[in-house]
């Protein structure tokens, strides 16, 4: 159940990013299709963050130290662009134009996710 809540939170964060950042788009005929697309992209986003982000952190550890963690912003933007590419391969109508929309979108997604996760309990019950 907790995973489903996290997916919905990520989908809402993606929706906010598409609403605020030009260059991040979700197309679809109807609102339910766009919502399902955002849920599917949220799942992809979670998988990418679960498997690829830790590997990037391990191999880029020196860059994280040298830049005092600021490289994380670039990594998050690159991962959002990767999610866009995977969504395109899966024929999902989600697209990130280039680096700067991905950069700002990743920041917005991170902040919105953090805010919404404040309302979700961490209990294992």
Residue 32 lies inside a defined structural domain of this protein:
yes
Residue 96 lies inside a defined structural domain of this protein:
yes
Q: Which residue, chain included where needed, has tokens 């134009």?
A: 97
pTM: 0.85
Residue 26 burial (10 A CB sphere; 0-12, 13-18, 19+): buried
Q: Which domain holds residue 70?
A: 2-116
Residue 88 lies inside a defined structural domain of this protein:
yes
Instruction: Count how many domains the chain has.
Output: 1
Residue 100 lies inside a defined structural domain of this protein:
yes
pLDDT in tens, 40-65: 999 999 999 899 888 888 888 888 88
Residue 9 lies inside a defined structural domain of this protein:
yes
At 125 the pLDDT is 52
At 81 the pLDDT is 94
Inter-residue contact 80 to 106 (CB < 8 Å): yes
Residue 124 lies inside a defined structural domain of this protein:
no
Sign, Cα dihedral of 22, 47, 118, 4 = positive
Residue 25 forms beta bridges with which residues? 95
């Amino acid at each position: 159940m907790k995973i489903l809540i996290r997916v919905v939170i990520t989908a809402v964060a993606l929706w906010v990013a598409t609403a605020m950042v030009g260059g991040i788009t979700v197309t679809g005929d109807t609102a339910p299709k766009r919502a399902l697309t955002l849920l599917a992209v949220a799942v992809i986003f979670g998988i990418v963050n679960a498997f690829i982000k830790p590997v990037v952190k391990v191999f880029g550890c020196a860059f994280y130290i040298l830049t005092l963690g600021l490289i994380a912003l670039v990594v998050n933007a690159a991962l959002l662009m990767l999610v866009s590419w995977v969504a395109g391969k899966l024929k999902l109508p989600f697209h990130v134009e280039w680096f700067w929309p991905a950069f700002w979108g990743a920041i917005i997604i991170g902040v919105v996710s953090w805010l919404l996760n404040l309302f979700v309990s961490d209990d294992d019950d």
